[in-house]
Chain A
Amino acid sequence: MRNMDVSVAGIRSVGKSPLQAVVRLLRDAILRGEFAPDTKVRIEDLRARYGTSLGTVREALSCLLAEGLVVEEGQKGFRIASMSVADITDIMTTRSVLESHALTYSMQHTSVDWEAGVVASLHLLNRIERDSAAFGEWLAANRAFHLALCSGCPSPRLRDFLVSLFHQSQRYGHRLLSRGVVPRHLSDEHDQIVRAVLAGDVDLAVSCLKSHIEQVKGELVEIAALSPTPRDPPE
């Protein structure tokens, strides 16, 4: 479905290259928490893991540098970006600003196609939430729902930024799963947003969206506060 086809932040221009494939795999691994925050990236391990060249791995890391998922370390290395309470608070607050703007724009320029996309993505999300235990699948559907709400706003930059912020918050979402925390039942909040959207009530829809993001922020902050940031063992 259209809204599930989420474009990758920042690399619209890359095309279907080996580089794009490695960027995608590596990003997903970071979002799933396979590499702990602040740990040094072992480039040779990644080369073996993805069966590609050292050059391609370094280029992929350079792309992820621009997305803020890795940071530069020392002379030639990379480190997985940190996670912290301050960081997730900022990420969710910024998401709230950007998503509110995009939803307002979408509702002011509403179309049947846009509404249909919102309704369809909500339906899919609710089905998955009820029937599926796969948290990864739920996260993807949740992201698709939020992007559908924003998709009436035709700005490629805004969309890139939203996807980037989503990736950032997804790292914390995966941590909920790894701690065995079952995600709170969110479908009521999602339903409320969509009811306000279909009623054409911009103020209500935006205020529902904001309070929803605020709720989720509280949960993600909690998980971030619980998790001490692991450091590299001494080498």
Chain B
Amino acid sequence: MSDSKAHPADTETVGTLSQTAYQLIRRDILSGVLEPGAKLKIETLRAAYQVGPTPIREALSRLSAEELVQIEQQRGFRVAPVTIKELQDISDVRIMLESEAVRRSILEGDYAWEANVVSAFHKLDRMEAARRAHGAVDFDEWEARNREFHDALVAASGSKWLNNLGRQLYSHHERYRRAALKQEHAAPQRDVHAEHRALMEASLARNVPAALDMVRLHIERTVEAVRASLAAAPRRDARQRTPA
């Protein structure tokens, strides 16, 4: 990992030191600042996040239960690697959870649910316009808008468990989405925005089969893009394992 890129704890962050350490380390794993496979040394993390060893260990334990960190022999820690196999697993289970949550939301959602979907799509739409104008997009902001849109779609599912498990997988997908986005910018044959639009329109039209087809297509296309991205840079994975 690189100390200059890791973010020290924000003094305004509310919550315990363990919560803070958990949130910051998790964010940096998902965004790739802490690279897949990288060794996580307590001392280095202490310096980077400016919290003591106890909160760091608790944060790493919690992240290990989430499969984002691996515990090794002698109690060392490592960022979980990214693999095509895991991407496929996350994607398959995400399709199942999100399909069920979208289906229920379409059946149960009221006008307020519709309004939130429209509102979240509008923000994505504005970002897309900016991307077309400037040729680039702030990934962090795009990621936040994308999450809001997907959250809005399933908000009326009525199931906390379904949505929480889905949200967890959505987060874990982020490590792969970054790779996919690079590929899409290099060879933009995919129109993610059109997929979001189709998903919104089918949902508002209460067309369950069309919406579920779109959920599947949308997630599967990300798998394809990541595959293409890894194939285009076969040594990337190996380089990432080198300590920075």
Q: Which residues of A contact B (CB under 8 A)?
A: 10-15, 17, 19, 55, 58-60, 62-68, 72, 75-76, 87, 90-91, 93-94, 97-98, 101, 155-158, 160-161, 165
Contact among A12, A55, A64, A97 for B57, CB-based, below 8 A: A55
Question: How many angstroms from the CA of A10 to the CA of B75 in the assembled complex?
Answer: 17
CB within 8 Å for A66 and B66 given contacts A58-B58, A90-B160, A161-B165: yes
Query: Are A157 and B89 within 8 A (Cβ)?
Result: yes
B50 within 8 A of A: no
Q: List 11 A-B contacts (CB under 8 A).
A: A10-B65, A10-B67, A12-B67, A15-B72, A62-B65, A75-B16, A90-B160, A97-B96, A98-B96, A157-B169, A161-B93
* A169 CB, min distance to chain B CBs, angstroms: 11
For A60, the chain B residues whose CB sits under 8 A away are 61
B59 within 8 A of A: yes
Question: How many angstroms from the CA of A50 to the CA of B159 in the assembled complex?
Answer: 36
Query: Are B161 and A165 within 8 A (Cβ)?
Result: yes
For B89, the chain A residues whose CB sits under 8 A away are 155-158
* A79 CB, min distance to chain B CBs, angstroms: 13
**When each residue 66-97 of chain B gets 1 if its CB lies under 8 Å from chain A and 0 otherwise, what string results?**
11011111010000100000000110110011
CB within 8 Å for A13 and B64 given contacts A155-B92, A157-B89, A157-B169: yes
B216 within 8 A of A: no
B240 within 8 A of A: no
For B92, the chain A residues whose CB sits under 8 A away are 155, 158
* B77 CB, min distance to chain A CBs, angstroms: 10
CB within 8 Å for A11 and B161 given contacts A72-B16, A157-B90: no
**When each residue 91-125 of chain B gets 1 if its CB lies under 8 Å from chain A and 0 otherwise, what string results?**
01100110010000000000000000000000000
For A17, the chain B residues whose CB sits under 8 A away are 71, 75
Question: How many angstroms from the CA of A75 to the CA of B67 in the assembled complex?
Answer: 25
B44 within 8 A of A: no
B18 within 8 A of A: yes
Question: How many angstroms from the CA of A91 to the CA of B164 in the assembled complex?
Answer: 12
For B93, the chain A residues whose CB sits under 8 A away are 155, 157-158, 161
Query: Are B58 and A62 within 8 A (Cβ)?
Result: yes
Name the interface residues of B159-173: CB closer than 8 Å to any CB of A. 159-162, 164-165, 169
CB within 8 Å for A90 and B161 given contacts A55-B54, A60-B61, A62-B58: yes
Query: Are B58 and A10 within 8 A (Cβ)?
Result: no
Overall SS of chain B's interface = helix
For B64, the chain A residues whose CB sits under 8 A away are 11, 13-14, 63
For B162, the chain A residues whose CB sits under 8 A away are 90, 93-94, 97
Query: Are B161 and A19 within 8 A (Cβ)?
Result: no
Query: Are A76 and B80 within 8 A (Cβ)?
Result: no
Instruction: A59-B61, A62-B61, A62-B65 given; name 8 further pairs at CB < 8 Å.
Output: A15-B73, A17-B75, A19-B75, A63-B64, A63-B65, A67-B65, A155-B89, A160-B67
Question: How many angstroms from the CA of A76 to the CA of B72 in the assembled complex?
Answer: 27
B227 within 8 A of A: no
* A101: nearest chain-B partner, CB-CB: B96
B19 within 8 A of A: yes
* A94: nearest chain-B partner, CB-CB: B161
Query: Are B16 and A62 within 8 A (Cβ)?
Result: no
For B75, the chain A residues whose CB sits under 8 A away are 17, 19
* B154 CB, min distance to chain A CBs, angstroms: 13
Query: Are A62 and B54 within 8 A (Cβ)?
Result: no
Query: Are B73 and A94 within 8 A (Cβ)?
Result: no
B175 within 8 A of A: no
* A66: nearest chain-B partner, CB-CB: B65
For A98, the chain B residues whose CB sits under 8 A away are 96
B178 within 8 A of A: no
* B155 CB, min distance to chain A CBs, angstroms: 15
CB-based closest 9 A-B pairs = A66-B65, A59-B61, A62-B62, A94-B161, A63-B65, A10-B65, A62-B61, A13-B70, A62-B58
CB within 8 Å for A58 and B71 given contacts A13-B64, A72-B16, A93-B159: no
Query: Are B165 and A94 within 8 A (Cβ)?
Result: yes
